[in-house]
Structure 1
Amino acid sequence: MILTPLKNFIISTCPEKLDKLSRFRHGWAWLLLTALTAGGAFRLWRHWAEPMISRDGVLYLRQAELWLTGGFQALQGSEAAWIPPLLPWSVSRGMLCGLSAYSSGILVNVLTGSLLIAAVFLLAGEFFRDKRLGALAALFCAFVPEFIQLSVEIQRESLYLLFMTLALWLAVCGFRRRNRFYWGGAGAGAFLAALARYEALELFLFIPLFLLGRLWLNAEERRETGWALLLFLLGGAVGGILLSVLLGIPLEYYTEAFTGRLRGLWG
């Protein structure tokens, strides 16, 4: 496998630490727990030490307030109707629980930024087939300054990165474990990521292209690959319908927003 030399190189750079860690049956779990606890606590401290809100953050909070008062339809006449709806909807749910718009927005970003640490563990652990490396990747993610900054500001990136990472993890699981149903989850995850940032729509281009290439090059796996492609697209479609009902978004919004974004990708 092409990944084996990469894994061996990573292990060779810190063999002593990994050898010590392997002596403990659940050493990777302790590393993951440390990453989640320290990463979440550091994000909360970072916000407490220097609270801030950007111009985009003010716009997102305004969208959440509109959603709370008039639902999705209230956003259509606003100055930022182009903003994908997942962040405004998420912030409005916190406001329903009695939080202010600002507190709800910070809570959403700190929570999703902390969950991203666990998602990185899942993706790296599956990619390298080694939970120790997954835990080290999670520990690294917990203290990357850029990730911390995104987690303490009201932005769409934490939601986008969380669901994008989960979608990629499910796709890797489907490929590695030869379980076609993971691909359906990958499609749903990609759709959720697209509701945070439209850039995630690229997954609906590149993953099918990858599967079509595999379908053409590997005759022995054609049936399994065909099912994977079908379930990935079906997962995205079913996820879109369910989210349309949950968020109260008409299906026409998806077709207009997504086709516009795809036209932009093609230039």
Structure 2
Amino acid sequence: MGAEVGEHVIYNLILGFYGFLALITVVQLLRILWNVKDLQWTTQKLFLFLTFLTCSMRIAFFILVAQRDTNLFMVNPARTPIISVLDTLPVLLFFTTYTLLILFWAEIISVARSQPQAERTKSRWIFGIVNLLAYLGVAALYITLVTISRSHHTIDIIINVFIALIVIAAAFGFLYYGGTLFFILKEFPVNSPERSSKLKEVGYITAVSSVFFGIRAVLQMIGAASKSIDLSLAFVFVYYFLAEIPRGQVRLERQPLINEEKV
């Protein structure tokens, strides 16, 4: 009885945080749409929209899991593909959101180094191809998972490992492009409050995002092994509060880094 109460408390607490992030995000997005009379999508608008979409899917995921009254990490993906997709898709959306920020930084670096327009076009192609491969890879694994009659456990582990590799790639992307942009700003000759603010923002987001993407990769590996382990509710709490929610807060608190550049 106590375990059930604790489970519902943790689920409701996580749902509350995701609901709060979704509400704040959609309010920010609507405010931008109201104040900026431009129907074209910008980096900032897309950033906020992906954040809202991710939080909404997480809310739907936790509601479905709570209704099934089952251990979060013991869900059988082959029998409950909708719940499994709702668990995996937000991770890919997180990846897309943060690679969008990496793309934005790459374009700033390209302008700062006076590189030709072709370099910016190349960066956008890489962004699109990497994200497409990530989604197609996960989709192919899930199709295999629900169509074969055996080896469900093995494929589920492969899905978790594949996602972990995607997360690690994002962490290295942040370290490289964030670090490069940080040192470019640091060497910029003009010393102004705005430069100092941007320098702190880039350093902060680079450090926090790299650390939490690394934590996410480790937790994803543990999640892969958890199919044969009854993980505690404490791990469920730590998993989501360290893997996703802090990054969502970073995105909301550090919006000035992303201007109204059209994408």
Compute the TM-score of the two structures, normalised by the length of structure 1: 0.29
Greater relative CO, 1 or 2 (CA 8 Å, sep 6+): 2
